[in-house]
């Protein structure tokens, strides 16, 4: 598969623990190549056990906040009614921390793939910022840039760079900003956005001429490069069920595959689309690929209950049936004979000058 080349590389490290401070990478590290091609390791049993222990220490517990939330199935959710059905508790915040590191790893240490012009940025907007990792680290790396992050939940830390600010806001509503932005960023919002046309339109309105919108998103169902994820297996069925329930809620779990056409239809220029497969397990050749696989498998293994339980119960399954089903999914995630991955897509476009 051919991919777009990446412009505007920034010097970023891999996600080894020694390379990261609490909210920023070590500037002395060199960038890596994007992991855009996976080769199955036929000798793989379950990879290097030291890599697994490394990953277990990546995430850091985050403090809880004193806001009004809803509690269901032993998890905490944002209080507003809407289509977003993932939790926002400490367990989920830890998962988002790991998810951030996964993206930094697979993109070779880059925070953006769009060819931003260094030294010319003044305002950047991060939609659906979550715990704020991306916004905080981007602000630390670019102290001359004002970075704004928005999210439905106020789960960002109190200690942030002086050039970074967070707001509780619903991206599904009209965006009201006094600023015009040089760059608008989204990441992993597929299961929380029903109207991506609205996102593209609103971003266009708040961008400076020449500014970029970049969407770093994913698709469900899962994928298997060698067909080892059999039709009818638990993980295969999980992907189908999640896609079906999302559709009932007005969410297209394959929306990322349409983003490039969406941007072109709305007048964006210089539209590019990069496809990636993130391995869920250490089945791909290469130390970075195995490390990425461990991280991504940990992310889904520990997050599949929070991601899925509420959705599958909306689909009509009982809590007991969902628990039993997700236990089977976890078993398959640990099966070294099943080579499964999550399709990622990075799409960017530029508002005309």
- Residue 24 included in any domain: no
In contact, 164 and 136? CB cutoff 8 Å: yes
Number of independent structural domains in the chain: 1
The residue range of the domain holding 99 is 36-350
- The stretches of the chain forming alpha helices (DSSP H) are 49-56, 90-106, 133-141, 196-206, 234-248, 259-265, 287-314, 319-333
Write the CA distances from 298 to 21, 34, 109, 216, 342, integer angstroms. Answer: 21, 21, 20, 20, 13
DSSP state of 330: H
- Residue 4 included in any domain: no
Global confidence as pTM: 0.79
Lowest mean pLDDT of 21-25, 145-149, 293-297, 302-306, name the range.
21-25
**Average pLDDT, integer, range 301-307:** 89
Residues 13-55 have pLDDT tens digits of 333 332 233 344 433 345 567 777 777 776 655 544 433 333 3
- Residue identified by tokens 């991306």 is 134
Q: What is the pLDDT of residue 4?
A: 40
- Residue 7 included in any domain: no
At 135 the three-state DSSP class reads: helix
- Residue 74 included in any domain: yes
Residues 202-245 have pLDDT tens digits of 999 999 999 999 999 999 999 999 999 999 999 999 999 999 99
Look up the CATH number of the domain holding residue 286: 3.40.50.150
- Residue 25 included in any domain: no
Write the CA distances from 49 to 159, 279, 301, integer angstroms. Answer: 35, 17, 17
Q: What is the pLDDT of residue 85?
A: 59
DSSP state of 334: T
- Residue 248 included in any domain: yes
């Amino acid at each position: 598969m051919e991919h777009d080349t990446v412009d505007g590389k920034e010097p970023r490290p891999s996600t080894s623990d020694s390379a990261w401070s609490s909210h920023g990478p070590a500037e002395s590290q060199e960038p890596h190549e994007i992991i855009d091609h996976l080769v199955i390791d036929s000798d793989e049993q379950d990879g290097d056990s030291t890599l697994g222990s490394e990953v277990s220490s990546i995430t850091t517990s985050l403090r809880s906040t004193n806001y009004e939330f809803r509690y269901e199935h032993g998890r905490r959710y944002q209080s507003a009614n809407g289509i977003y059905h993932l939790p926002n508790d400490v367990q989920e915040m830890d998962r988002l921390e790991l998810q951030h590191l996964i993206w930094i790893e697979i993109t070779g240490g880059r925070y953006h793939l769009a060819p931003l012009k260094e030294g010319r940025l003044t305002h950047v907007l991060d939609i659906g910022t979550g715990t704020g990792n991306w916004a905080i680290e981007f602000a630390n790396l670019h102290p001359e840039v004002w970075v704004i992050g928005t999210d439905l939940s106020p789960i960002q830390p109190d200690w942030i760079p002086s050039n970074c600010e967070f707001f509780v806001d619903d991206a599904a509503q009209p965006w009201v900003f006094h600023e015009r932005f040089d760059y608008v960023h989204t990441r992993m919002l597929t299961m929380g956005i029903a109207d991506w046309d609205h996102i593209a339109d609103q971003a266009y309105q708040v961008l400076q001429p020449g500014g970029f919108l970049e969407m770093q998103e994913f698709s469900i169902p899962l994928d298997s490069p060698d067909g080892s994820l059999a039709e009818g297996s638990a993980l295969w069925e999980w992907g189908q069920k999640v896609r079906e329930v999302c559709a009932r809620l007005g969410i297209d779990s394959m929306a990322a595959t349409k983003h490039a056409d969406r941007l072109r239809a709305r007048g964006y220029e210089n539209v590019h689309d990069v496809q990636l497969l993130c391995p869920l397990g250490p089945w791909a050749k290469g130390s970075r690929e195995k490390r990425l696989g461990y991280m991504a498998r940990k992310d889904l293994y520990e997050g599949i209950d929070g991601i899925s339980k509420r959705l599958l119960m909306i689909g009509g399954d009982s809590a007991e049936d969902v628990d039993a089903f997700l236990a089977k999914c976890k078993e398959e995630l640990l099966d070294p004979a099943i080579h499964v991955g999550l399709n990622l897509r990075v799409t960017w476009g530029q508002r005309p000058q």
